[in-house]
């Protein structure tokens, strides 16, 4: 009974700030401005197919890049000394202590036409590039902001792998490549899937990055939803419908990935 009492504040917090907003989104998605039930809000989804496709495509690209960078980085850190691990974790988390908006503004000053990057290229005699207000700038911003969310769970899982399992594989004649393919990578899949989830979900719903680094030319789902709630095209019912559809698609994608991860884990155990 005492344990349940301790959980009461958390339950109240979740009910107010998580469950209640989701219920409101569902209600708004299926009602009109007069409060009548309707499915008309979902009938407009076809008008935004391009935005859905672009948002998920850019989010997938950013997630893939984070995985390609984050997994080797996390794996290398686990092989180092404890002091190196602590310093590396501090450096990874350090940017996260800075305001998300400020970090994005910093990248604007780096990537703009007269920014630090083009000044450096001009200084060393190389041609300048125009990357600001493009999809590439949006992906770069997502990778920079969300890369720690890929590194940390992968590092945590790999670092906790029992060293005796690796030694057993080596005693049975497995070389370094086989140990990684047959032991380390399969056992690290929970961290990989967690990292993919933690990067993909905020990437597909971001609007600050696409607005600042994309310059409005890269309209994504987050921008579209914001327009329905705060922009000139005020329509919270349509915005709720878009949000609900996006949540359902994301949940389906996560369920498929988790099912794949469970299958891989079972294969390793067999």
Q: What is the pLDDT of residue 219?
A: 82
Q: What is the pLDDT of residue 270?
A: 46
pTM: 0.87
Count CA within 13 A, CB hemisphere, residue 123: 7
- Tell me the C-alpha distance between 84 and 95, whole Å: 18
Q: What are phi and psi of 206, to 5 degrees?
A: -70, 150
- Tell me the C-alpha distance between 215 and 109, whole Å: 13
Bridge partners (DSSP) of residue 37 are 31
- Tell me the C-alpha distance between 2 and 204, whole Å: 41
Q: What is the pLDDT of residue 98?
A: 87
Q: What is the pLDDT of residue 137?
A: 93
Q: What is the pLDDT of residue 262?
A: 58
Q: What is the pLDDT of residue 16?
A: 87
Q: What sign does the CA torsion over 171, 172, 178, 179 have? A: negative
- Tell me the C-alpha distance between 265 and 249, whole Å: 24
Averaged over successive runs of 10 residues, the pLDDT of the chain (270 residues) comes to 74 87 92 90 87 93 96 94 92 88 91 90 89 92 95 94 86 86 90 92 90 82 88 85 89 78 50
């Amino acid at each position: 009974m005492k344990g349940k009492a301790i959980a009461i504040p958390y339950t109240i917090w979740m009910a107010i700030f998580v469950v209640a907003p989701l219920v409101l989104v569902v209600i708004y998605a299926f009602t009109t401005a007069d409060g009548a039930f309707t499915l008309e809000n979902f009938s407009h989804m076809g008008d935004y197919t391009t935005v859905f496709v672009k948002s998920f495509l850019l989010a997938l690209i950013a997630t893939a890049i984070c995985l390609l960078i984050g997994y080797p980085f996390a794996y290398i850190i686990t092989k180092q000394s404890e002091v190196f691990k602590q310093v590396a974790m501090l450096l990874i988390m350090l940017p996260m202590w800075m305001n998300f908006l400020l970090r994005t503004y910093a990248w604007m000053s780096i990537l703009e036409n007269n920014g630090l990057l083009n000044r450096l290229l001009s200084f060393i005699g190389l041609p300048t590039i125009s990357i600001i207000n493009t999809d590439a700038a949006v992906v770069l911003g997502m990778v920079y902001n969300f890369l720690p969310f890929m590194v940390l769970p992968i590092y945590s899982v790999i670092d906790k792998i029992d060293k005796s399992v690796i030694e057993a594989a080596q005693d049975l004649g497995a070389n370094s490549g086989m140990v990684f393919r047959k032991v380390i990578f399969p056992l690290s899949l929970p961290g990989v899937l967690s990292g993919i989830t933690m990067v993909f979900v905020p990437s597909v719903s971001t609007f600050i990055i696409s607005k600042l680094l994309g310059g409005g030319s890269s309209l994504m789902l987050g921008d579209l939803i914001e327009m329905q709630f705060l922009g000139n095209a005020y329509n919270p019912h349509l915005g709720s419908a878009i949000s609900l559809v996006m949540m359902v698609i994301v949940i389906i994608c996560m369920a498929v990935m988790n099912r794949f991860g469970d299958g891989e884990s079972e294969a390793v155990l067999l």
